Chain A
Amino acid sequence: MLALLPLLACSGPDDSAPVDIPTDDGRPTPDTATFNFDTGVDTGLNDTPETTLTFVQDGRWEMSPVGGPYTSAVGVFRVLEYQDNMAPPDDTGDPGPDDDDEEVELPEGVICDATFALTATAVEGCDTCDFSFDFLFYVLDGDPSLCQDPDMPMDGETRRYGFDVDAKTVFYDYGDSGLWLEWWHGVRQGDKVFFDWTATVGWIPMEEDD
């Protein structure tokens, strides 16, 4: 190995014979910078995320007056997010032993669990919507700031939604911009609309500060 060292250290072009700059002889120069598309053979692999995050959002609107045309609504909206397959057990609805003033620790794997109360007044909505409302979100329980959905409503925020009965879709007026996006699946039952959305995506958990 030591014997190779001098050869490696001194390898290189001979300085006494500089290379001339080629002159233009009229022949086209090959363009070595041409990009080759990467169309490698499909390996059949299907990578999967190491960690997943599941969004569960559901709720209901109760509209009035009965039978419409509707002028107002109240409702509830719940957001649950959990890591991998660590869905919490179903809520039995029984009151827990915790005091309302105490901060409840989330079950392992649950990222956020928040419930909002909704109050709304009717507004002009999207072209295809049967009815639309400006909803005021008021936090009843939990901390929505822990949620990873980048489009989470915050406490005290007002957002505009409309419902297309035939499409069974709740539309959201994104940022009050007039751009109506499909937001939740929904179904109308009388004067109520029930809506939900569930999705599982990949996710990198943020490292907690010490």
Chain B
Amino acid sequence: MLLFFLACASPSDDETPLEKGAPDELALPDIEDVDFQSAFEEMFTVGMTVNLNNAWKGHKKTVELGSEGCPDWYAGPPPQAGDNVDEDAGGVAWQDRCKTVGDRRFSGWGWWDGTLERSGDETVGITSEARRQLSGDGLVAYGDTVSFEFDGQANDSIYLLDAGEDTRWVYNSFVDATVTGSLPFEGSPTPGGWRTDLYFSAVGGKAPSITARGNVYLFDVLVQDRFDSVVMDLELVSEEAAGPDDCILEPLGTLSIRDTNAYWYDLVFLPRYADDTALDEEYSSCDGCGTFYVRGQEQEEEVCIDLSFAFDMLEAPDPNDFVLSVRIP
């Protein structure tokens, strides 16, 4: 017992405490050749594709690839779901560790549920409201190729009013998951998939707007051979959706990208909330440019970007895709 106290004796009071001093200034990378305008715009474009609607494509194809007995289907959450899904959540699931007759291997589990409701008619417009959830820790592979991997949870919803030429919709998606595989990402701008905790919301129709909050890490795509991650915390309104005090030349909030050295580059635009107006004067101009930081150090030159192209990319998910039935397997 004495040995214990001896071994753990603290330094005597005679010893001089270590001078800590100011931390060394972070070294800045060589960024002379980097086109930050297009880098920020490209990473934002990639971020817009990170949602459950795209992950669902892989899940849906996976379900179609099953054969009799592989995977095993479950009514409600499967045993491996544990606390990830409420036991009375209903829905449908697969859980197995098996190989199909087509040599497709299933390992793990996946649970999902979806609803779709429509109302109205052609005279007043048809309203579609759909929701779906996907949870899982599953891998579907063919040989050494990952067909679809989903590890985490996600949900999304679509509200679509189709009144002829006056079509409006609101899409919300939250994905907290790792998603990879050839099925969801073949031909996409992110062929290797991503890991994310992104909330994405888009309003389409006559007054489009976009909101994005969260992180995205790309597994094997490097924008400009340099950047692999993006953090978005911003709101973007179109000219049609803007109020008298809104800025349409730039988003509100921040957009950050990371290179493979784990160096972060931040672009800070107008503040999103009135409480933030106490920030520096430079933040308060609506000019399409953001204050540029490299590894947290403010740069003299701003970076100006144009995200107006994002509204042309907006496309409403098909509400019918929110229901995935395995009714007649």
Contact = CB atoms under 8 A, between A and B. Distances in A.
Interface of A: 2-3, 5-7, 9-10, 15-16, 18, 20-21, 23-24, 26, 28-29, 31, 33-35, 37-40, 42-50, 53, 148-151, 169, 174-179, 181-185, 197, 199, 201-204, 206
Given A29-B261, A177-B323, A201-B72, 14 more contacts: A9-B4, A24-B29, A28-B261, A31-B260, A35-B180, A38-B107, A40-B107, A48-B72, A49-B95, A178-B118, A181-B325, A183-B327, A197-B327, A201-B74
A176 B70 CA distance: 32
A93 B328 CA distance: 29
Contacts of B323: 174, 177, 179, 181
B233 interface: no
Given A26-B30, A31-B228, A49 B74 contact: yes
A47 B180 contact: no
23 contacts: A2-B3, A3-B3, A6-B3, A7-B7, A29-B261, A31-B228, A34-B219, A35-B180, A38-B149, A46-B70, A46-B97, A46-B99, A174-B116, A177-B117, A179-B116, A179-B323, A183-B327, A197-B328, A199-B73, A202-B72, A203-B75, A204-B74, A204-B78
B97 A47 contact: yes
Contacts of B145: 39
Q: Which 3 A-B pairs have the closest CB atoms?
A: A6-B7, A24-B27, A202-B74
Nearest to B108: A38
B24 A39 contact: no
B4 A43 contact: no
Interface of B: 1, 3-4, 6-8, 18, 23-24, 26-30, 69-70, 72-79, 87-88, 90-93, 95-99, 105, 107, 113, 115-118, 128, 139, 141, 144-146, 149, 178, 180, 195, 217, 219, 228, 260-262, 319-320, 323, 325, 327-329
B117 A175 contact: yes
Contacts of A179: 116, 320, 323
Contact of A182 (B30, B115, B319, B327): B327
Instruction: Count chain A CB atoms within 10 A of each CB in B26, B98, B144 and give the residue with the most.
Output: B98
Contacts, number: 145
A175 B116 contact: yes
Contacts of A7: 7
Contact of A201 (B75, B87, B113, B260): B75
Contacts of B115: 175
Contacts of A197: 327-328
A150 B262 CA distance: 47
B77 A204 contact: yes
